Amino acid sequence: MNAQVHHSRNGDNGRIAVSGRFTVETLRPFRAAAKELLATPGLRNLEIDLSSVSYLDSSALGSMLLLRDQLGGTVTLVGASPTIRQIFEVANFQKLFQIR
C-alpha cells in the first residue's frame, strides 16, 4: 500500500496524518507537509497521527526526530498500533515524545 500524508493546522496546533507504510518512500511527502506547517509562525504543538500506519522504518523514526528538533515545541505521536508502540519503546521515543 502506498503511503498517504495529510496535514492541517488550527491556530498554534498542527497535525500530520500518515497512512500505509511509513518508509523512506514516504519521507518526501512527510517532509513537505512538515515544511508547510513550519513555514508559518506560531506553531507550538504538532500531532503525528499514526493510527493508519502498518509499518515504519528507521528513516521514519529519524524524520520524526528531525521534525521535533525543528519545531522546538511539543510533538505528540497518537494512534500507534501495539507493534509500532513496541518500536517506539525500543528506540526510547517515550523520552522524546508524548505518546498517546
pLDDT tens column, 77-97: 999 999 999 999 999 999 999
Q: Is the pTM of this model over 0.75?
A: yes
What percent of the chain shows pLDDT beyond 90? 93
Question: Is the pLDDT assigned to residue 61 strictly greater than 90?
Answer: yes
Distances in Å between the Cα of 64 and the Cα atoms of 15, 41, 53, 81 are 13, 20, 14, 17
Per the prediction, the chain carries an average pLDDT of: 95
For the residues 41-56, what does the mean pLDDT come to?
96
- CA distance linking residue 57 with residue 84, whole number of Å: 10
CB contact set of 55 (below 8 Å; sequence gap of 6+): 21, 22, 23
Average pLDDT for 54-65: 96
For the chain, what are the domain ranges?
4-99
**pLDDT score recorded for residue 49:** 98
Amino acid making up residue 92: N
Distance in Å from the first CA to the final CA of the chain: 25
Q: Average pLDDT for residues 48-71, to the nearest whole number? A: 96
CA 71 remoteness from chain centre:
12
Q: Which amino acid is at 49?
A: D
Q: Is the pLDDT of residue 1 over 80?
A: no
pLDDT, residue 73, reads 87
- State the Cα angle at 79 between 46 and 98, rounded to 5°: 45
Class of domain 4-99: alpha beta
Which residues, other chains included, contact 81 with Cβ-Cβ below 8 Å and sequence gap of 6+? 50, 51, 53, 54
